[in-house]
Amino acid sequence: MDGKYTPRSKRSGGREPRSAPSQVPNGRRSFLPALLEECRDAVLLLDDKGLILDANRAAEQMYGWNGRELKRKSLADLQAEGTAALAEEWLRTGGEFPIPPFETLHRHSRGASFPVEMTIGPLAADGAPVRIALVRDITERKLAERRFQELEAHFHGLVDAAAATIFILQDEHFVEVNRAAEELTGYSREELLSMHFLQVVHPDFRELVGSRTASRFRGADPPRRYEFKILRKDGQERWIDLTVGRTLFNGRPALIDSVWDITEKKAAEARLAQQNRLYRTLSAINQMLVRTGTSEAVLRESCRILAREAGYPLACALLRDTATGRWQAVVQAGTASAFCSLAGCSGAGCPVMEALLPREDPIVIIQDSQTDPLYAPWREAARASALGAVAILPLRQQGELCGVFTLYTSQGETLGPEERVLLAELAGDLEYALAAFSERQKREEAEAALRERQERLRLLFERNVAGVFRTTPSGRILECNDGLAKIFGAASAEEMMRHSAQEIFFHPEDRTAFLAELREKGRVTNLQWLCRRLDGSPVWILENASLVEDPRYDEPVLEGTMIDITALKAAEEEIRESEARFKTLAETSAAGILVFQEDHFIYANGSALEIAEASFDEIRSMPFWEAVHPRFRDQVRELGRACLAGEFAPRRFDLEIITKRGQRRWMDCTLARAFMNGKPSGVVTLVDITE
């Protein structure tokens, strides 16, 4: 383009020139051709009926028709099929006012439709009325808008599906939240989008969060990640971990917050901190126990340490005179000491501890002094002193109550299971200290008793009928008693220790499998082995063994016991043979024989099944007394159970039964007690005497 007007005939390569110049307003002849050629959008000159008077080169390229072809068309011919004829409506109304830009669909000469943005207005000129239409192809813009909509939908999908809670802030309000945000705050999406973002922040943190958010909107760089508390819709407090970043939302600056609920983590940290304080407290108390010489001093210092180191608002203790049973020496420490006078405690005792003192349990925990009915008499005093949970620890010596220790938490705090364990350990330490003080004068007797106990253990080891041993995995016997030597035929424990544990196995692979199982499980119990005595004869043993660490050796040591069960095995075999003989005899008997255990039959011979006219599966599923006539059932049930209990001698009696087919038969019945499979059983012999 050089800015000069070139006649249409020359521009079109010899094409026929347009209509007479009189159709173009005279006032535009000097610059209109240049405007037509230089404009990047399609420009159409229209008469009052919408016929095209002229078009620029951009219009030819847009619609695919040359200028001569376009002059034969109207604006309606350019509309794609089915589109609204807004331009035609404007032309019908006279076209005296401009139409603001609107979007519609036009068509190419090849038939393809494409989106356009169009505006039409009157062209002030002399002569015939002329309108000018500016048409812009917005295909690329529409594609970009569609892509943006897809990306926006993808973004919203990702935000909504994210595991983390997502908030987007703009102008101090939420403009986007995901599903996790609704679950975290308890508010619906609609409620959140209508709220100021500080409404969900806990009052203690609103100033901090508000100032950092405002600073970031101003372009400053406060910490991107920090923790604070929020308030749910139901009033519940939750701790969150927030990471914030900048973004654009709807083309404007915004902040995107990624939030994780760390309430449980904070609770765990608090419990861990309390445990650490308790561990430090236990350490301080244990060190104090070494330095202190009286029971009262121990309790007084323990109360002070618990209040100072562990942060309990109140710790109290009582001593009890085991001779008279009277309580004395109330000691206390902490910031809530006024509670004791409010609750009626004095040097003569404490009604709270005496009333709630556990008789059997090692510790009593009241998690909320304001709601637990056990604490009702002292509820007002606890509220006035801002006390929460209560732990009452009895102190005993040799099972007899000698004192009680009580701890209180601040209002709203509870005592977790970890604290319960540590407090029980504290009670144990105090019990030990008090016992040590009361028994100091008897130390020599205690030492003598200890030596006596050790001697008893030594004799128990040496004289135990069971074999006791300690060996290495390689088989070297480190220790054993005479009981083990006797089992394997050695003259003494010393002789047995000169042999290897591998020698007692008939097959080396048996010991290999035994060691593999022991290494896997750490211990084995009730393991039965067929082993070999030193003379080569077999011996059955019942073994319990464990792997234990011993610093004197490079590998774990086997410790265990062995019992000679050879006679038991022989007896079991004899029982099995006896039961086999019984079954052989029963199967060849013409009399019906049945065996029941508990309430059901476990055996019936062929004759019994013939009498009952049933299969064994059919009679096994019924209680034994249901096989007889209803008028005998109560009597048979009582006799059967008395038989199993061994409460009567064998009996013989007549009774009537009902067969599976409903026939009634009279039987000569004998009932006796026996053992089968090691369990008490009732043996019933039946002879049909109906005839």
Domain of 293, CATH number, reads 3.30.450.40
Q: Are 255 and 217 in contact (CB under 8 A)?
A: yes
Q: Angle CA(312)–CA(318)–CA(323) in degrees, nearest 5? A: 160
Question: Distance (Å, rounded) from C-alpha 110 to C-alpha 64?
Answer: 8
What average pLDDT does range 550-578 have in this prediction?
83
266-275, 556-565, 626-635: the lowest-pLDDT one: 266-275
> Is 426 within the bounds of a domain?
yes
What average pLDDT does range 520-542 have in this prediction?
89
pLDDT over 90 percentage in the chain: 11
What average pLDDT does range 81-107 have in this prediction?
71
262-266, 282-286, 291-295: the lowest-pLDDT one: 291-295
pLDDT at 429: 80
Of 430, 423, 428, nearest to 408 (Cα)? 423
pLDDT per residue over 646-657, tens digit each?
887 777 888 888
pLDDT confidence tier of residue 661, bands split at 50, 70 and 90:
confident
535 and 557 belong to one structural domain: yes
Of residues 190 and 124, the one with the higher pLDDT is 190
> Is 299 within the bounds of a domain?
yes
Of residues 553 and 17, the one with the higher pLDDT is 553
Collapsed DSSP state (helix, strand, coil) of residue 217: helix
pLDDT confidence tier of residue 17, bands split at 50, 70 and 90:
very low
pLDDT at 31: 43
Task: Examine the pLDDT at 381 and tell me if it is beyond 80.
Answer: yes
Q: Which amino acid is at 208?
A: L
189 and 326 belong to one structural domain: no
Backbone angles phi, psi at 126, to 5 degrees: -85, 155
> Is 444 within the bounds of a domain?
no
**Cβ density class 139-170: b for 16+ within 10 Å, e for less:** eeeeeeeeeeeeeeeeeeeebeeeebbbbbbb
**pLDDT, mean over the chain:** 80
422 and 292 belong to one structural domain: yes
pLDDT per residue over 100-134, tens digit each?
888 889 999 898 899 999 888 877 655 667 888 88
Task: Examine the pLDDT at 399 and tell me if it is beyond 60.
Answer: yes
pLDDT confidence tier of residue 227, bands split at 50, 70 and 90:
very high
pLDDT per residue over 414-436, tens digit each?
887 777 887 888 888 887 777 77
Task: Examine the pLDDT at 21 and tell me if it is beyond 50.
Answer: no
Cα distances (angstroms) measured from residue 485 to each of 303, 518, 532, 545, 562: 57, 23, 13, 17, 11
Domain of 249, CATH number, reads 3.30.450.20
Cα distances (angstroms) measured from residue 680 to each of 289, 552, 661, 685, 690: 59, 51, 31, 17, 31
292 and 430 belong to one structural domain: yes
Question: Distance (Å, rounded) from C-alpha 368 to C-alpha 357?
Answer: 17
Beginning with the edge strand found earlier in the chain, give each strand of the sheet holding 400-410 in spatial order.
327-333, 314-320, 400-410, 387-397, 364-366
pLDDT at 14: 38
> Is 516 within the bounds of a domain?
yes
74: DSSP letter: B
293 and 420 belong to one structural domain: yes
Last residue of a domain, one of 261, 286, 319: 261
> Is 353 within the bounds of a domain?
yes
> Is 3 within the bounds of a domain?
no
95 and 129 belong to one structural domain: yes
> Is 446 within the bounds of a domain?
no
Task: Examine the pLDDT at 12 and tell me if it is beyond 50.
Answer: no
Backbone angles phi, psi at 225, to 5 degrees: -130, 130
252 and 303 belong to one structural domain: no
Task: Examine the pLDDT at 256 and tell me if it is beyond 90.
Answer: no
Question: How many other CB atoms sit within 10 Å of the CB of residue 452?
Answer: 10
pLDDT confidence tier of residue 527, bands split at 50, 70 and 90:
confident
204 and 250 belong to one structural domain: yes
Task: Examine the pLDDT at 64 and tell me if it is beyond 60.
Answer: yes
> Residue 150 corresponds to which tokens in the numbers above?
């897809």
Q: Are 289 and 298 in contact (CB under 8 A)?
A: yes
> Residue 218 corresponds to which tokens in the numbers above?
């101003």
The total domain count for the chain is: 5
282 and 414 belong to one structural domain: yes
- Burial label for 658, CB within 10 Å (0-12, 13-18, 19+), is middle
326 and 475 belong to one structural domain: no
pLDDT confidence tier of residue 91, bands split at 50, 70 and 90:
low
pTM of the model: 0.39
Last residue of a domain, one of 438, 473, 500: 438
Backbone angles phi, psi at 438, to 5 degrees: -70, -25
522 and 604 belong to one structural domain: no
pLDDT confidence tier of residue 26, bands split at 50, 70 and 90:
very low
Task: Examine the pLDDT at 347 and tell me if it is beyond 60.
Answer: no
Last residue of a domain, one of 518, 538, 564: 564
> Is 415 within the bounds of a domain?
yes
496 and 607 belong to one structural domain: no
Q: Are 168 and 256 in contact (CB under 8 A)?
A: yes
Query: Which range of residues forms the domain containing residue 340?
Result: 268-438
